[in-house]
A and B are shown apart, each in its own frame.
Chain A
């Protein structure tokens, strides 16, 4: 038994001759937040639907929790929570009744049901609206209600399709916090998005989709190194003499650039902040600030498509 909750091998989907998902291979480990990123129409939602057994697989295979979703959809769907793009609820019913309906479909017993619904709503910060009809809910509340549904289900995998689209910044932050909380409960999360910078902060690993291919996959740092090439950009703000020379001697640093007043930018092959701090203090400097520029997905993505043509077969895998 591997520790991967989702494994897709050469997964392919064709709609009447048009290939929408083109032989992708990836896996999601237990307890991991995996980001499926890419522009609209790049095959993210189709991939998700294949994992849920809601659409047929044309070629290749996918296993979710060790099961084939086309063959055992009920078992798969029992333990996988799904938040569709633009999730909808029955507007005339209350939040509680909406969840009760789902809970009955799942087959939870009455007492267990009420308890789980209460806890789930509390967890996503909606305990007081249990009896309010959903039509009064804001978009952010609906998204959180959908998360509550996944919590109530005790899902082992949460699949979130564009969870942050259409949310204001505050609601986005709340939702991202709620997703992190899922991870802390041991739930593996697969989320898709076309908003790169929003999800960058919470994903352990990402896969970049383009035209049905995974063109890049790995941690954001790995992708940054591979695509942007330059490695880490560490910025030091310190007062003192001869700091540039001291920093140049730090192992792994390839270049140091001095920009007045008292700023040094260096490029290194790894995160050298601790060593840089030691070097600055050792040279008698007064360290004011030390920061590292995380490579941004946005930059990686833009750079990738500027430099390499979209592959037609297979795709390159970074990790």
Chain B
């Protein structure tokens, strides 16, 4: 596959690993914010080949993980209505609410459909004129433009039975909250490549200017990640606190102006609650007045009260990168992918889920 296979190259990967081992000399804490990066790093066994002094920390870039339990509970209630079809990404199906999950509700007879794209909701709405379709609009800046586009298309084609239950969040504000946390000590960031395709690199400049922390934007193939780690370690060594774009084939400095236009057209930026982290100012997206008619909460007149869904696990600290999952007392004992307690285990790209599936104790590997 073009633009994929070349960036999985064995030769390039191995060479980048060797290079990294020569240039990294002292202990470094690097945070990768994006859940898709967390998964890619585990999938390719990148932690195995990193020099011992590079500590890769997983951050809160998992939209499912940071969505409060109240969201799922409200979605479950909506799914009980006979006149409602819930359309959702597969990611949300297993997330546990107080009384079951979407998967369970589907088994009990609720009309819940997995879609690959929000645009598929347009077809579902057109084919079911007597039903009300509710799309669970979760995701960061990469996904939010699609919600806006789908709403606009619905309006233009005269569909009046499609609604969105939105929980979109944006990434740079939560990063700012993290670097301001005195308990967290970060030397650099691996920045999310596909979010950056939308927002560009400018929103990360505060890391460099205000906090003297460098960041490298990168993609998701192993060569991308290893190359970015090389760049980042060099920047840190040279005390060069810049934001560098190592994903130039996809990311422009200004991002995608059309996407930003659609985001501005449909959404207001509001304060938002991140499960396990708390309120982060100006980190959420809500439909503005012109798009209110698509808001599921308003349409169904739901009095939505948010609650995290605390459960005795240490997801909050894990999401901030303060501890790793092996330090949570529930990890692998009470909390497993089949019976997830916290949100980090629920999502397939949550830090705990990734650790559960791929992490191995260093001692055992030496057998």
The yes or no verdict on A and B being binding partners is no
Q: Mark A residues whose CB is within 8 Å of B.
A: none
